[in-house]
Chain A
Amino acid sequence: MSDPTQLTEIADSDAESGADDNERSAPKKWGIGFWIAVAWLTLVVALSALAPYLPFVDSPSEFPDLAAPSLEGPTADHWFGVNQNGDDLFSQVVNGARTSLIIGLSVMTLGFLIGGSLGLIAGFFRGKVDRVISAVVDILLAFPALVLALALIGILSGGDATLPVVILALSLLSVAPLARITRAATLSFAEREFVTAARTLGAKNGRIILREILPNVIPPMAAFALTVIALVIVAEGALAFLGLSVSSPAPTWGKLISEGRAEIEDHGHWALFPSGVMFLTILALNYMGDVLQSRGTVREGAL
């Protein structure tokens, strides 16, 4: 799903809905699927945050453990089985989640800060500033971002990427969509009565943006951010597959899957478990994002 166009579509649909958060209609049920998604993500986040303190998660090591059995399917000791070097795959998947989540969250944060600021400025001041920012955003949205990210990483680090370089390159994927969605939401609030009221009271632009508009545009951005995290996790996996992601002993999901691919016929568990965990995480993120976004739309429709 490394697909920026999908983001564009979501951004467009959200631009129309303009999510209104002040008039809350009667609380609706979130649905069981939503809570399952929340539970799964909580589990993944908790495990990866607590990984160094958990007795059943080995820390990543650079050297193969020769005493351990190699390439064994799931057992009571090794829930996801063992890889060629005798590493416990469950531990690897948990440690991979750490890297993947750190990258996903950092890229999302960068997108929020840079894209969000650009969107707020464009949507609030409009006119020439808006035209310039929108043109840049359109260009970024239009271009094959993964190819640019690839070229950027390649040129900056030539196959030996560090975490900051990977994060920087992947933020090419998050800045533009978040700028667009923030701009759309800002546009829909900039003309509202409470903004006029604040201005009448003599509030300066900076204060209006930070205190009046920002709190209102954060919910649609947050719903969208989940989709961005999913996108980034997939993109990081793609980079790992090409050998261009973070080079360190710490595994990422993409790296685990690409290692397991070689043994897929005889020892399918190696690729299967990381793929499955990745699939469920992306599914959960997408689903939560969908639900949150559609609630924004429904509320608008109910007005």
Chain B
Amino acid sequence: MKFVAVRAVQLVVVLVTATFFVFSLTFLADGDDAVVDSILQIEAGSETRRAEVEEGLNIDDPLPVRYVKWAGDAVTGDFGRSYVLGRDVSDLLVEPLKRTLALVVYAQIIAILLAVPAGIIAAYRANTWIDRGVSTGAIGLLAVPNYVMAIFLVFLFASTWKVFPGIVDSDLQIFDFKSYFLPSLSLALGQVAVYMRLLRTDMIATLQEDFIGMAKAKGLTTRSILFRHALRPSSLSLVTSVGLSTGALIGGTVIIEQIFAMPGMGTLVVRAIFQDDIFVIQAVVAVIAFAFVLINFLVDLFYAVLDPRIRSV
């Protein structure tokens, strides 16, 4: 279990570094006074409220102390109050967080569902025209930025064929698969290429192992050999990549949400950036960092389940 403990410590370090970085920046960029001024200005409060606001920000403490106090509150789910919207930041976070997580999960599911068969067939028929076709397609997909993909898919499915909505409802529910289809697919297609190429490489190596020859000699069907015997030992890089790419996908959701007018974390943070809503910026970065760290931890555990040798490291 040493492996788990080491990873846990590493991930906590990631979390603290990222949040501290953004927390400090929000104050250092404009200076403390400017931050207080902008809060007072928006709240239309007079100078009499200045002391109160400064108190709330712990403005007399040095930055590290301020960070520790903020982090202490954040752990209990208290991210302060958005002075732009006049609501608690934690209330603003709940629904967008659900929507964004759902978007990432759907995108990963679509990507895996498309990449696994494509990778397997490319490996099974390695260096034939099928393999070359699939691999060329993957290189092409990798060169399409997700926002270009989104525009193209909206044009096709929403404007031309009118089968899926190009703009989602403002109170999008996470099981509204029809609305989620285009955003998830836009995010997924780039990942398909990454996953497919990884799986293909590992699968080609696995297919040359003795136990595959053994399985063939036993007279098992090709399908059973590929999916039941070869897939599991070939999927380690794939699983790692799925975990690691979660970070990139979360980055990608920011822009996809913008295109589909989806009220998620990305929309929230972009609005906060334009309105200088610093508590929201801090909170979104903290939550994204936390979600990201958690997912990585789970992937590591899953990795250990897939390959028993790792458990003892």
Identify the A interface with B (CB < 8 A). 1-6, 8-9, 135, 138-139, 142-148, 150-156, 158-159, 230, 234, 237-238, 241-244, 254, 257-258, 261, 264-265, 268, 271, 275, 278-280, 282-283, 286-287, 290
Q: Which chain A positions have C-beta within 8 A of B144?
A: 1, 279
Interface of B is mostly: helix
B251 touches A241 (CB 8 A): no
Using an 8 Å CB-CB cutoff, how does the interface string of B190-225 with A read, 1 for contact, 0 for none? 110010001000000000000000000000000000
Given contacts A4-B248, A148-B22, A158-B276, 18 further A-B contacts (CB under 8 A): A4-B247, A139-B13, A139-B14, A139-B17, A142-B14, A143-B289, A144-B251, A150-B270, A154-B274, A158-B274, A238-B254, A244-B273, A258-B147, A261-B151, A268-B155, A275-B151, A278-B145, A279-B143
B143 touches A264 (CB 8 A): no
The reply to whether the CB of B180 lies closer than 8 angstroms to some CB of chain A is no
A237 touches B254 (CB 8 A): no
Pick the residue among A3, A147, A241 that contacts B194 (CB under 8 A). Answer: A3
Closest-CB distance, B296 to chain A (whole angstroms) = 7
Q: Which chain A positions have C-beta within 8 A of B245?
A: 3, 5-6
**Could you list 12 A-B pairs, sorted by A, with CB under 8 Å?**
A1-B144, A5-B241, A139-B17, A146-B254, A147-B285, A150-B254, A150-B273, A151-B25, A154-B273, A159-B273, A242-B254, A280-B143
* Given A142-B244, A155-B281, A242-B258, residue A147 in contact with residue B274 (CB < 8 A): no
Q: Which chain B positions have C-beta within 8 A of A144?
A: 247-248, 250-251, 288, 292
Q: Which chain B positions have C-beta within 8 A of A8?
A: 244
The reply to whether the CB of B255 lies closer than 8 angstroms to some CB of chain A is yes
Q: Which residue of A lies closest to B11 (CB)?
A: A142
* Given A142-B247, A146-B248, residue A2 in contact with residue B254 (CB < 8 A): no
* Given A142-B247, A279-B143, residue A257 in contact with residue B281 (CB < 8 A): no
Closest 3 pairs between A and B when the two form their complex, measured CB to CB = A154-B273, A146-B251, A283-B143
Q: How far is the CA of A159 from the CA of B254 in the complex (A)?
A: 15
Q: Which chain B positions have C-beta within 8 A of A282?
A: 143, 145
Give the A-B pair count, Cβ closer than 8 A: 155
B273 touches A264 (CB 8 A): no
Q: How far is the CA of A4 from the CA of B250 in the complex (A)?
A: 12
A152 touches B145 (CB 8 A): no
A148 touches B18 (CB 8 A): yes
Q: Which residue of A lies closest to B276 (CB)?
A: A158
Pick the residue among B17, B140, B247 that contacts A5 (CB under 8 A). Answer: B247
Q: How far is the CA of A278 from the CA of B151 in the complex (A)?
A: 14
Q: Which chain B positions have C-beta within 8 A of A264?
A: 151, 154-155, 159
The reply to whether the CB of B142 lies closer than 8 angstroms to some CB of chain A is yes
B151 touches A238 (CB 8 A): no
* Given A151-B22, A237-B147, A283-B139, residue A138 in contact with residue B241 (CB < 8 A): no
Closest-CB distance, B244 to chain A (whole angstroms) = 4
A2 touches B146 (CB 8 A): yes
From 212 to 270 in chain B, residues with beta carbon under 8 angstroms from any chain A beta carbon are 237, 241, 244-245, 247-248, 250-252, 254-255, 258-259, 269-270
Q: Which residue of B lies closest to A285 (CB)?
A: B143
Q: How far is the CA of A153 from the CA of B248 in the complex (A)?
A: 18
B274 touches A241 (CB 8 A): no
The reply to whether the CB of B10 lies closer than 8 angstroms to some CB of chain A is yes
Q: How far is the CA of A145 from the CA of B244 in the complex (A)?
A: 12
Using an 8 Å CB-CB cutoff, how does the interface string of B146-162 with A read, 1 for contact, 0 for none? 11100110110001000
The reply to whether the CB of B29 lies closer than 8 angstroms to some CB of chain A is yes
From 20 to 75 in chain B, residues with beta carbon under 8 angstroms from any chain A beta carbon are 21-22, 25-26, 29
Closest-CB distance, B97 to chain A (whole angstroms) = 14
A1 touches B145 (CB 8 A): yes
